[in-house]
Structure 1
Amino acid sequence: MQNQHKSWLNLPSLSIPVKALFTGYLLVVGLGLLMAGAQIMLTHGMADGKFGLSVDDIVYSYYGNREGSKLESKLNGSMKDKATPEENFTMIKWARNGASENEWNSTIQPIVQQKCAMCHGHIPGLPNVTKYDEMKEIAKVDEGASIASLTRVSHIHLFGIAFIFFFIGLIFSMSVGFKKWAKALLIFIPFAFLIVDIAAWWLTKMNPSFAYFVIVGGFGYSLASTIMIFTSLYQMWVMPWRGAHSDVNTWREG
């Protein structure tokens, strides 16, 4: 009786409602991972002023560009198209010259009010650059992500993404045709690379040489998650139609 109970607890033999539940989750999570990748490309991927994620982008995001200010990095990167080249140059020059309050009142603040305030003065989470004190901080030498922001983002990622990997792994654990050690390894890989990714943020903050590990970590858990998602979808919907359900015993793990 125990073997008979186990025989149907696999992806090809699940009931249609359960398959629908799992499929909906996997599709939404897969789309979410794609959107996360796009968001990284539009934020970190523009840190060096060029589209596409590179080691320099990682270094600028976490270690900073110690040769210039965060304001300069943004105006040459993701915020480059928000103002005219002349206005960007004016703000960069102001930052390099010490970000004086007199020039802020006469020249910089009008540009900020016209080109930046629509987002940075109203959207929670974005620095309110309409205030001189906050703009002055951004105009200082760019030392990358602050300890406070790293702590906040790290705990959000560790808690939130771990839940995503847990349910992807739970669904994939019902897959067939894998050796137990191979299945266990695939399930564990995203968690391991997530730790590598988050740890590399902090290490890169101290030493830019660790930036490579950020890319390795993100690529590792993305690849493992993709394999599990597509394998699970294939075994739920394609495999039964290929006649695999005719012999349930062949689906048992090796």
Structure 2
Amino acid sequence: MPNWSFSNINISLKVLFSSYLILVGIGYMMAFTQILFTHGMADGKIGLSIDDIVYSYYGNRNGSVIENKLNGSMKENASEEDRFKIIKWARDGADEQQFNATIKPIFENNCLACHNADMGLPDFSTYESVKHVSETDSGASFASLTRVSHIHLFGIAFIFMFVGLIFSFSTGVPLWLKASAIAMPYVSQVLDIASWWLTKFDPAFAWLVMFGGIGMAIAFAFMWVVSMYEMWIKKHT
């Protein structure tokens, strides 16, 4: 059986492994940044908090979806006057005639670049779609959770299969720690996604989302640093 270690691979494989790790490292940072600008603004404040997670999955049931978005992650996309008009319209019952006369022009000027039929977001060019998001905010829909869950399960599995495969060439950590680090992202991902669904029913489970994300980040950082260190810095005898 061959001895798989970084000391036994050639420079070409090291370059290949390192290039992959660098790209997925940048991708991981971009994903974290995207979370800060979406879920992290759900409560209208910068930074990811338990309230952000609760509002994203369970919802903020004190107001409508559109009101909470306009006071949160979408706050900078419209003037205070326009936001007030939309929120008041939603609270007053989301009348269709008033929508066509007053609210639709605001969406056309501020929102339709992203919220249209081609972008996969709610289409704010139609009254029916806007009326739907003017209802009580109950968080992520079951259809949305199903779609995002299967994308994450497939995508994360492939990413960590290759990160774990590269890390398996390391020799500077005990076998139990190596095996634990390789398994941890998969356990954390199952915990993370399961907690989305649990939080949808009970906001008390929002803490599990944090634990799942932190566990995955720690495992990724550990395997990344150890692999890069042993490939390029550690002296092999």
Q: Does 1:87 align with 2:82?
A: yes
- For residues 30-54 of structure 1, the C-alpha deviation after alignment (integer angstroms, 9 at most, x for no partner) is 1100000000000000000001000
- For residues 182-205 of structure 1, the C-alpha deviation after alignment (integer angstroms, 9 at most, x for no partner) is 110111011000000000000000
| CA distance, structure 1, for counterparts of residue 20 and residue 127 of structure 2 | 46
- For residues 126-182 of structure 1, the C-alpha deviation after alignment (integer angstroms, 9 at most, x for no partner) is 111111000000000000000000000000000001111111111111101222111
- Equivalent residues of 1:14, 1:236 under 8 A apart: no
Structure 1 residue corresponding to 2:141, chosen from 140, 146, 169: 146
Q: Does 1:10 align with 2:1?
A: no
Structure 2 residue corresponding to 1:100, chosen from 95, 104, 123: 95
Structure 2 residue corresponding to 1:47, chosen from 24, 34, 42: 42
Q: Which runs of 5+ in 1 are unaligned?
A: 247-254
Report the secondary structure of 2:113's partner residue. Answer: helix
Show the counterpart of 1:201: 196
Look up the equivalent residue of 2:71 and give its one-letter code: N
Within-5 A mapping of 1:45-84:
45-84=40-79
Show the counterpart of 1:136: 131
**Larger-Rg structure:** 1
Q: CA deviation at 1:123?
A: 4.5
- Equivalent residues of 1:13, 1:245 under 8 A apart: no
Report the secondary structure of 2:226's partner residue. Answer: helix
Show the counterpart of 2:212: 217
- Equivalent residues of 1:12, 1:237 under 8 A apart: no
Q: TM-score, normalised by structure 1?
A: 0.91
Q: CA deviation at 1:122?
A: 5.7
Q: TM-score, normalised by structure 2?
A: 0.97
| CA distance, structure 2, for counterparts of residue 57 and residue 104 of structure 1 | 29
| CA distance, structure 2, for counterparts of residue 89 and residue 12 of structure 1 | 64
| CA distance, structure 2, for counterparts of residue 220 and residue 106 of structure 1 | 50
Q: Does 1:178 align with 2:173?
A: yes
| RMSD, aligned α-carbons | 1.0
Q: CA deviation at 1:245?
A: 2.1
| CA distance, structure 1, for counterparts of residue 173 and residue 226 of structure 2 | 11
- Equivalent residues of 1:104, 1:132 under 8 A apart: yes
Show the counterpart of 2:105: 110
Number of residues paired by the alignment?
237
| CA distance, structure 1, for counterparts of residue 118 and residue 41 of structure 2 | 21
Higher-RCO chain (CA-CA 8 Å, sequence separation at least 6): 1
Q: Which runs of 5+ in 2 are unaligned?
A: none
Structure 2 residue corresponding to 1:189, chosen from 164, 184, 187: 184
Report the secondary structure of 1:129's partner residue. Answer: coil
Q: Does 1:37 align with 2:49?
A: no
Deviation beyond 6 Å, 4+ runs, structure 1: none
| CA distance, structure 2, for counterparts of residue 177 and residue 234 of structure 1 | 10
Look up the equivalent residue of 2:92 and give its one-letter code: N
Q: CA deviation at 1:13?
A: 3.2
Q: Does 1:168 align with 2:163?
A: yes
Show the counterpart of 2:228: 233
